[in-house]
Each structure stands twice: as structure tokens, then as C-alpha cells.
Structure 1
Amino acid sequence: MKRIIAVIREAKLEDVKKALIRIGCDGMNISEIRGRGRQLGIKESYRGSNYCIDLIPKTRVELIVKDEDVEEVSQVVIDAARTGDVGDGKIFISPIDEVIRIRTGERGDDAV
């Protein structure tokens, strides 16, 4: 099993969510976060004053998937979240040692 964490633009959440549901990936956790990468913030001007918003609002989508589904899920997120501009986000993939469904006690792939 793998954990996929996708940090995406807030405006792309519905597109990503719908695309994941279309391929049968219903379980996900969504968080509103702030961060920055190469984008280094947004420079704005308001009433003649310049300022920089250095922590950009983003959305974090977290999924646990079977090993064989990692490539498909990752590609679906990429296709749905990409605008082609700086700030589209990142995907992080890491191994998961164990999953336990609290309600039934199921473990491993059965719990996903």
C-alpha cells in the first residue's frame, strides 16, 4: 500500500475529486493548507502599497491506495490538477506499513 499526498490549487479540487471518483477512488481526506515552493508567493498591490503573500492557500488531498493503483491514481491527479503554470502543486508517494479499519478490524488491503 502507498500513501499519495497531492498538494494542489484550491480551484482544482472539484476537478481532482471528480476524476478520482470516476476511477473508483472514493476514499480521500482533504485539508486546506498554506505553503510555498518555487512560486515564492504572490506580489500584490493594494491602494498604492505593494505587499507579498508568501504562503499561498493550497489544498492537500491524501489517499491510501493499493500498490498496483499508484500509477493510475497519480496520473489522474496530474491530469485533473495541471494548469501548466507555476504553482500547480506536487505529489508525494510513500509506503504504508499497515492499515486497520476500526469498525471491523480488517487489516491490509481489505481495510483500504
Structure 2
Amino acid sequence: MKAKSRFFLTADGVYLGDHLVAFTPEKECHGIYAGRCRVISVKGGIVVAEELQEFSCGSDIQVYLQKTDFAAAEIVSRAESQIGTVITPMTDRYFCEWCLYGLQEVPKE
């Protein structure tokens, strides 16, 4: 695997609970890998589950390197528990951090 930076690795293989980032020309899209080629992310302020290909929008996917105290199954469980929930003004990146760390305060933008 080739490192893009000290925070990201190319996603040659992704694992349950990984924090994925797709870099499109317009923005970064963040999501939690839930297995079976599914990613849980935020679209239009609503938590959704989508196929890995749909999440990436044809862009390269990378794994955001983070340490967490939660096991992969717990990270995915936290993400899945929010599917269908409206979470504005929370961003997709903050949603992933909530899944990984259990943060409860919405960051000030």
C-alpha cells in the first residue's frame, strides 16, 4: 500500500469499521465501511447505507487512519443505528468520528 499522506492509506482492501474517504473534485465524502460492499454515510443531512461504488462516485477511496477504543462491530453498530436519522448540521466526517469515538457534542464550524 502506498501512503498518500500520514493520515490516509489507499484502500486496496477495506475492513469492517474503517473510516473511508472518497476524494471527488468537489469535496471529500466520509463514511463507515459496514461490510458486504456497504458504506454508511451522510447524504443531504440523512444517514444512509449505500453501495461502495455509489459512495465513491468513481473516485479513489482511501482509509482514514484513526485509533479508537471501539471494536469494528461496535463502530458499525453505532453507524447502523443512525440510518434514516436526520443529523444536520452534523457533517459526514463528524458522523464518522462519532461512530469511532462516541463524541456527543456537535463541533462549532
After TM superposition, is the score higher than 0.5? no
TM-score by length of 2: 0.24
Look at both structures and tell me which one has the larger radius of gyration over its CA atoms.
Answer: 1
> Structure 1 or 2: larger strand share?
1
Structure number with the higher helix fraction is 1
TM-score scaled by length of structure 1: 0.24
Give the structure, 1 or 2, with the largest relative contact order (CA under 8 Å, sep 6 or more): 1
